[in-house]
């Protein structure tokens, strides 16, 4: 039977919900709250985010393996979401230590939810339309960024320097928005039940052993290991630029925060339609060729960003570059998620999407550290443009590594296919 449209719509809506959290809490309002409430700079939030990234790096493949051992992944997604929402709701309402702990818990649970959410993509799409469905999720997801801006503007009233006690209301608003927009996924996504041994007290050590065995046997899955290593490099580069773009605009380009903020908004506006377009491209030419085009686009972006201050080019060039960043970001997530679904064995989607998340979080730890080492005054002190060129090198390395990846459809054997429970009115038990 065809996949219900409301199932697809509910899955897409969750992308909007979690993007609202990501931009609203991690990028915008929690760093501002920490500065207003405790007098700490962005480095404090960066340290907390790095701590969360380390936890996700360790836990991601285990959580994915746990979800493979359950008959459905939606309960795991629901638990991760509720924990994230609860921690977010109480941010800023306790001591500094409790607030920092709640922030780390919220980020870890958000990232854990992405593992289960991404591994549900094959449940709401087919191999022929996976690019379009994933691309719609990416495009609609960026609307969540605008929603985060809107919640902050309404609650804070457009004040330039809000008081610390105004931010908890923003956190509660984003938490409630996240929960409301996520509920349709729990209610309407139709997930096929799998025949599994079930969960028991020994599932955690079993999951550790399974992850180790699968990593050792990665050569059974052609291209998968190369893709994960390549993703580590290009995700590192993209995520670092996003994290450091405001510092670059104010430091190397001499812009004020107010002048640089429209660049971020332009990036979001460009990403919304681009996700839908990239999704069509993925279905037309395949996820691997699409990803190649996207990585070349990133090379152009990094080269231009570095050239503006070095060659004395006009500062206004950062605006079209910002739009191009939005296009390239949408292309990155619209192509690499379907490519992962193509390369990974269906029986172990949770586990391999856990590894997918793990290598992505590796970049969140290493990227800012490399940036600081290259550009920091107390270290190499080569300047921010040199740090951008290192990010360009990362993308080139990723491009070279991915040359050996072939995204032709796989003929999976019985050991790599899940055994599905056939129910009346369900889709055929095929993968």
Q: Tell whether the model's pLDDT for residue 332 goes beyond 60.
A: yes
Residues 76-128 have pLDDT tens digits of: 999 999 999 999 999 999 889 999 999 999 999 999 999 999 999 999 999 89
Tell me, what's the pLDDT at 426? 47
| CA pseudo-torsion sign 281, 283, 289, 291 | positive
Q: Tell whether the model's pLDDT for residue 401 goes beyond 60.
A: yes
Which domains, ranges and CATH numbers included, belong to the chain?
A: 1-193+201-213 (1.20.1250.20), 222-405 (1.20.1250.20)
Tell me, what's the pLDDT at 431? 35
Residues 349-366 have pLDDT tens digits of: 888 898 898 888 877 778
| CA pseudo-torsion sign 170, 82, 99, 115 | negative
Cα–Cα distance, 77 to 15 (Å, whole number): 12
| Whole-prediction pTM | 0.86
Mean pLDDT (the chain) is 87
Give every CB contact of residue 347 below 8 A, 6+ residues apart in sequence: 68, 415, 416, 417, 418
Tell me, what's the pLDDT at 420? 73
Q: 3-state SS of 186-235?
A: HHHCCCCCECCCCCCCCHHHHHHHHHHHHHHCHHHCCCHHHHHHHHHHHH
Cα–Cα distance, 347 to 210 (Å, whole number): 12
Burial class (CB in 10 A: 0-12, 13-18, 19+), 419: exposed
CB 316 within 8 A of CB 176: no
297, 298, 299, 302 alpha-carbon torsion, rounded to 10°: 130
CA atoms within 13 A on the CB side of 246: 12
Q: Which range has the worst mean pLDDT, 315-324, 372-381, 402-411?
A: 372-381
Structure tokens of 65? 């393996």
Q: How far is CA 340 from CA 39, 146, 219, in A?
A: 42, 28, 15
Mean pLDDT of 164-168: 93
Q: Tell whether the model's pLDDT for residue 158 goes beyond 90.
A: no
Burial class (CB in 10 A: 0-12, 13-18, 19+), 205: exposed
Tell me, what's the pLDDT at 430? 37
Cα–Cα distance, 324 to 248 (Å, whole number): 17
CB 104 within 8 A of CB 55: yes
Structure tokens of 287? 């996820």
Note the helical H segments in 252-317: 257-285, 287-310
Tell me, what's the pLDDT at 351? 84
């Amino acid at each position: 039977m065809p996949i219900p449209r409301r199932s697809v719509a509910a899955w897409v809506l969750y992308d909007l919900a979690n993007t609202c959290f990501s931009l609203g809490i991690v990028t915008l309002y929690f760093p501002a709250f920490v500065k207003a409430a405790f007098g700490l700079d962005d480095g404090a939030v960066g340290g907390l985010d790095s701590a969360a990234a380390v936890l996700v790096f360790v836990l991601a493949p285990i959580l994915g393996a746990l979800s493979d051992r359950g008959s459905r992944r939606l309960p795991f997604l629901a638990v991760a979401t509720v924990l994230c929402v609860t921690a977010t709701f109480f941010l800023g309402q306790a001591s500094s230590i409790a607030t920092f702990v709640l922030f780390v818990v919220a980020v870890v649970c958000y990232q854990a939810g992405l593992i289960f959410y991404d591994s549900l993509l094959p449940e709401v799409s087919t191999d022929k339309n996976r690019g379009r469905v994933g691309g719609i999720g990416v495009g609609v997801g960026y609307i969540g960024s605008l929603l985060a801006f809107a919640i902050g503007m309404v609650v804070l009233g457009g004040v330039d320097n809000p008081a610390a006690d105004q931010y908890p209301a923003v956190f509660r608003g984003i938490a409630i928005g996240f929960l409301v927009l996520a509920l349709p996924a729990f209610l309407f996504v139709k997930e096929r039940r799998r025949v599994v041994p079930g969960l028991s007290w020994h599932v955690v050590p079993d999951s550790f052993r399974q992850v180790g065995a699968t990593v050792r046997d990665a050569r059974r899955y052609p291209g998968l290991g190369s893709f994960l290593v390549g993703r580590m490099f290009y995700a590192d580069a993209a995520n670092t630029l996003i994290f450091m773009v405001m510092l670059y605009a104010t430091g190397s380009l001499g812009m004020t925060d107010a002048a640089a903020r429209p660049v971020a908004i332009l990036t979001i506006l460009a990403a919304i339609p681009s996700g839908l377009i990239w999704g069509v491209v993925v279905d037309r030419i395949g996820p691997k060729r699409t990803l190649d085009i996207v990585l070349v686009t990133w090379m152009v972006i990094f080269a231009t960003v570095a050239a503006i201050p070095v060659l004395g080019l006009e500062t206004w060039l950062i605006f079209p570059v910002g739009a191009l960043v939005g296009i390239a970001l949408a292309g990155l997530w619209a192509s690499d998620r379907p490519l992962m679904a193509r390369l990974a064995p269906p029986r172990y989607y949770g586990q391999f999407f856990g590894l997918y998340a793990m290598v992505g979080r590796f970049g969140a730890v290493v990227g800012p550290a490399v940036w600081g080492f290259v550009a920091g005054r107390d270290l190499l002190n080569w300047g921010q443009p040199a740090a951008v060129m290192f990010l360009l090198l990362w993308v080139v390395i990723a491009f070279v590594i991915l040359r050996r990846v072939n995204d032709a459809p796989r003929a999976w054997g019985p050991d790599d296919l899940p055994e599905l429970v056939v129910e009346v009115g369900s889709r055929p038990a095929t993968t």
